[in-house]
Amino acid sequence: MSALLVLAGVALCMASGLPSLATRRASAATTVIIVAGGLTGLIGAVLGLTGGPTELSLPWHIPGGAVAIRIDALSAFFAAPVFLLAAAGGLYADRYWPAARTRAGYVRAFFGIMTGALALLMCAANTILFLAAWEIVAVSSFFLIATEHEQAVSRSAAWIYVAASHVATLALFAIVALLHAVTHNWAFVPLPHGTGALPIGHALLGLAFVAFGIKAGLMPFHIWLPGAHAAAPSHVSAVMSGVAIKMGVYGLVRVLSLFDAVPSAFGTTLLLAGIASSILGVAFALAQHDLKRLLAYHSIENIGIIVTGLGIGVLAQAHGQPFLALLGYAGALLHVWNHGLFKALLFLSAGAAIHGAHTREIDRMGGLARRMPWTAAAFLIGAVAITGLPPLNGFVSEWLLYVAGFTSITRTPHGGPVLLLVLVVPALALTGALALACFVKAFGAVFLGTPRSAAAADAHEVPFAMRVAMVPLILGCAAIGLVPALFAPLLSSAVHAAAPRLMTTVTLTALLQPIQMPALIVMAAGIAAVLILLAATRRAAPALTWDCGYAAPTARMQYTASSAARGLVGFFAWAMPPVIHAPQPFPLFPSAAAFESHVPDTVLDRVLLPVLRRARWVLSFARYFQHGRMQIYLVYLGVTLVVLLAWSAQ
């Protein structure tokens, strides 16, 4: 039953854009269909989590292919947030990208195709179907990123995305071929005993790290992510960040689950890559002036946290520490849900702020909390969750990883790579502190103070449908944070599907139960503090704050996105040196001056693009050999043939 509901949800989502393509008047029908598809698939995924595995197979004439759907705990765990965000995003788009707007039918059609293919990928039992769904997601995402293709930045982001996706797809082709070579099967079936220690096992793991690392946006494979998430419409960014990059996480977990034992070295690689991504991702986010690029770099940070958890699980399991492995896998998988909820909430609320202020530049916003109180509250809830503060959901998954880090100090044997687990606690602490600083900057510059532009001064709250779309995400953040033990059985099923050979007597319910009461107390104290503050605000007489001697303070005297984070960005200048255009020393009577600073992406802008430009320059000399004359090409072939014959004769 669950497989049939999931397949029905996939079909409804993928077909939801057809009415809008036919006529602009059918936008309401598109919204109804995608919401219905999201809810149908969500019900099927929940049934798959609470019941046993179910399968559904339909014939497909592609060699080796079959429309084979398997709903087990792992696929249902990853598919559930896809359907939830498909429904929320479809409802949000009804007013965010209305039928009267340019390319509305185009956006709705590709949005439905992308979300349906995402869910299909999570549930595919056949590797050919998995590969086909992977490519459908990539192509539909490309068109969505290029929605505003009249802008050069959107075109550039779309082409970088498709180039990175094709590299990942090539690696995925190799993974599928190697899996078939070992198992002689096109389905995801367990690998023979000891495969992880063989060269073919090492090749599988290495290719999985590249293919799924690119799709997840793990550093240094993240080059496509910031531009793509910033260029896409906000509801598309919410789905891409919340669940589309989880394709990489799901693929990695699914491949790892096929091994009977994963080498310790691969766990070390995951751990170190995850720590680097989490710290550097939030550091790059601190330096951003574009609100959506700031959120995009936080996706890299949170993927780093997830991969850190997987690294803990693999490393601990390889060294016979089942309790630590349970904490690592559980923290990673729960953070998949948590990140999907709070990051989608942040992108939707950021999209609402952009809708009101008509700009993505943080320094041209300001003062939106008075004009858009609902949007400000939603963004604040998402910010509290993403920084890992109690009592919201981000705290719970990071708490499991903190426990793993602290426990490793006393439970791990002396010596060996497992001692690297002691890095988890300081890495998480640094990441959380930087994330808190970043969102203090972002929330303060966007929603507090006074407006920095005329559009921000005229902003107003977004339509009702856009606000309603954020409600289930807010409720999800609160529910997992306040009653995490309620979700422990679902999480436990997913963990044992991801690591079927993991044996431990400790239950996740016992681990999560103790933090429920403190979370409820913190929530009650927070609500009381807000009510007291609101009551005091209503009684206070309006007046200017202390103005440092300025009789008429202006918006230009406020902190900007650059100045608020200048010290912390400077601390990471060794990894991301800023580019500063500052005015020269002023004369006695200075004229107008300007200041600008930005931080280029180190991997893309400082390494990859310069190398590609140099390679293009070198390859340009090929024009001296390409004359368009058939006689010359025949001479080339003859010379090559003679050289090959001479070489083979030796």
Model confidence at 99, in pLDDT bands (50, 70, 90)? low
Model confidence at 494, in pLDDT bands (50, 70, 90)? very high
* Encoded tokens for 515: 């933090």
Phi first, then psi, for residue 54 (nearest 5°) are -130, 150
Question: Scanning the structure block, which residue is given the tokens 């550097």?
Answer: 280
In degrees, to the nearest 5, what angle opens at C-alpha 27 toward C-alphas 21 and 29?
A: 100
CB 223 within 8 A of CB 601: yes
Between the CA of residue 419 and those of 196, 325, 408, 412, 567, what are the distances in Å?
A: 22, 14, 7, 7, 32
Report pLDDT for 229.
94
Report which residue type is found at 106.
Answer: Y
* Encoded tokens for 264: 């310790």
Report pLDDT for 533.
80
Report pLDDT for 597.
76
Taking residues 630-648, report their average pLDDT. 88
Q: In 3-state terms, what secondary structure has residue 290? A: strand
Q: How far apart are CA 240 and CA 295, in angstroms?
A: 12
pLDDT tens readout for residues 555-596: 777 777 777 777 788 888 888 888 877 777 766 776 777 777
* Out of 226-230, 316-320, 404-408, 622-626, least confident range: 622-626
Q: How far apart are CA 430 and CA 440, in angstroms?
A: 15
Between the CA of residue 1 and those of 160, 509, 572, what are the distances in Å?
A: 40, 28, 52
Question: Higher model confidence: residue 554 or residue 533?
Answer: 533
pLDDT tens readout for residues 539-562: 766 666 665 655 666 777 777 777
pLDDT at 100 over 80: no
SS3 content of the chain, % helix, strand, coil (to 5): 75, 5, 25
Output the average pLDDT for the chain. Answer: 89
Report which residue type is found at 408.
Answer: S
* Out of 187-196, 235-244, 617-626, least confident range: 617-626
Nearest to 404 by CA among 308, 310, 327: 327
CB 325 within 8 A of CB 313: yes
Helix (H) or strand (E) holding 469: helix 464-482
Nearest to 21 by CA among 99, 84, 125: 99
Q: How far apart are CA 150 and CA 50, in angstroms?
A: 47
Q: How far apart are CA 258 and CA 264, in angstroms?
A: 16
DSSP string spanning 165-223? HHHHHHHHHHHHHHHHHHHS-SB--PPPTTGGGSHHHHHHHHHHHHHHHHHHT-TTS-T
Taking residues 194-203, report their average pLDDT. 92
pLDDT tens readout for residues 292-302: 999 999 999 99
145: buried, middle or exposed (CB in 10 Å: 19+, 13-18, 0-12)? buried
Model confidence at 156, in pLDDT bands (50, 70, 90)? very high
pLDDT at 617 over 90: no
Report pLDDT for 548.
63
Question: Scanning the structure block, which residue is given the tokens 């008429």?
Answer: 552
pLDDT tens readout for residues 29-39: 899 999 999 99
Q: How far apart are CA 430 and CA 279, in angstroms?
A: 7
Taking residues 13-20, report their average pLDDT. 90
| Nearest-10 crossing angle of helices 27-50, 488-498 | 80
Q: How far apart are CA 413 and CA 522, in angstroms?
A: 37
Report pLDDT for 224.
94
* Out of 139-143, 211-215, 536-540, 565-569, least confident range: 536-540
Report pLDDT for 578.
83
In degrees, to the nearest 5, what angle opens at C-alpha 120 toward C-alphas 118 and 126?
A: 125
Report pLDDT for 447.
93
Report pLDDT for 168.
95
| Nearest-10 crossing angle of helices 291-318, 322-357 | 170
* Out of 78-87, 242-251, 444-453, least confident range: 444-453
Helix (H) or strand (E) holding 55: strand 54-58
Share of the chain above pLDDT 70, in %: 96
Taking residues 478-494, report their average pLDDT. 93
Report pLDDT for 546.
60
pLDDT tens readout for residues 396-430: 999 999 999 888 877 666 556 677 888 899 999 99
Report which residue type is found at 138.
Answer: A
DSSP string spanning 492-553? HHHHHHHSTT---S--HHHHHGGGHHHHHHHHHHHHHHHHHHHHHHHHSPP-PPP-TT-SS-
- Count CB-CB contacts under 10 A for residue 151: 12
Question: Scanning the structure block, which residue is given the tokens 């998995």?
Answer: 130
Model confidence at 335, in pLDDT bands (50, 70, 90)? very high
* Encoded tokens for 572: 């990471």
* Encoded tokens for 22: 């036919």
Report pLDDT for 526.
82
Q: Where are the alpha helices (DSSP H) in 412-457?
A: 424-447, 454-457
Taking residues 117-143, report their average pLDDT. 94
Report pLDDT for 20.
84
pLDDT at 73 over 80: yes
Per DSSP (E only), the strands in 573-638 are 579-581, 596-598
* Out of 80-94, 258-272, 376-390, 593-607, least confident range: 593-607
CA end-to-end span of the chain:
66
Between the CA of residue 413 and those of 312, 376, 407, 408, 416, what are the distances in Å?
A: 15, 48, 12, 9, 8
Report pLDDT for 101.
76
pTM of the model: 0.92
Model confidence at 529, in pLDDT bands (50, 70, 90)? confident
